[in-house]
Structure 1
Amino acid sequence: MMKQKLSLKGRALRYLSMREHSRVELARKLSPYAEEADEVDAVLNWLEASNFMSAERFSDSLVNRRSARFGNQRILAELQTHQLDHAEMQRVKEQLVETELERAVAVLHRKFPHSPADHEERTKQSRFLQQRGFSGKAIQAAMRAAREDDEV
């Protein structure tokens, strides 16, 4: 029994059924299977017109997946690689700013449940949040937030 070859639309819909994709990402995945570059653009335009693919849904999905672990800078940098328009980036940025402090506290307390004992440990915890893409303001506030051992 021979496996039937998927059309470009079928392949695109299969990718989108697994998770949301940006236009750039989907074009990159579909281009090896297209005979002409115009075919990929036509499929992508059809997907957007049919509302199977949306930049807003993609950015919300990515933010939802990444926000529990990463800060604004890291999430926005990843979104920029997908070449979203400026208005969408601003919308996401405003949404992320509102929750950055509570996300920083949650990430820090999950990794380090106890307060730093000395300056070296404090630096280690600050660097951890910085590598995750949190802003300096959020890092400072998260470091001051009470922990489990502080409440005793």
Structure 2
Amino acid sequence: MTDDPAALQGERAGLVSRCSAALIDAFAVSAVCVLALVCAGAVRYLLLGGPFTLPDPPRRLLPVIGGTLSVVYLTWGWVNGGRTAGDQVMGLRVRSQSELPLGFVRALIRAVLCTAFPIGLLWITVSRHRSSLQDLMVGSAVIYDWGRRPS
């Protein structure tokens, strides 16, 4: 192990970094869900008057709404620069095995897999190449990338 993060540039990311990024992303998606509820309540208050209250969507729709927002958020981040907010904070980038950007279809499939089966991330602990099950299925890799360019 090294104390110099620059030495890890371009190496495959480990479990702790990737779980930390996923946790940050989960908080970001949760914040968007709460913000959407507040905005919907504000619109209802402005149009109908009365006391301001948050909408109470049916409980069975919450996983569908949260899952859909998660897939959109992850796909958008991985297509536009290869990073979500969590990846940015943790210095990670998602790319294809061939070191190219992931592309929309593969990013979408990876986002669906990560949202529906997050435990697949644990495969990193037994993989020689630090690949999650999602990485193996879509041919992606998560690397340390602080955006530094060699001088």
Normalised to the residue count of structure 2, the TM-score between the two structures is 0.25
TM-score (norm 1): 0.25
The structure carrying a bigger strand percent of its residues is 2
Mark the structure with the bigger radius of gyration.
1
Choose between structure 1 and 2 for higher RCO, CA contacts under 8 A separated by at least 6 residues: 2
Which structure: greater helix fraction? Answer: 1
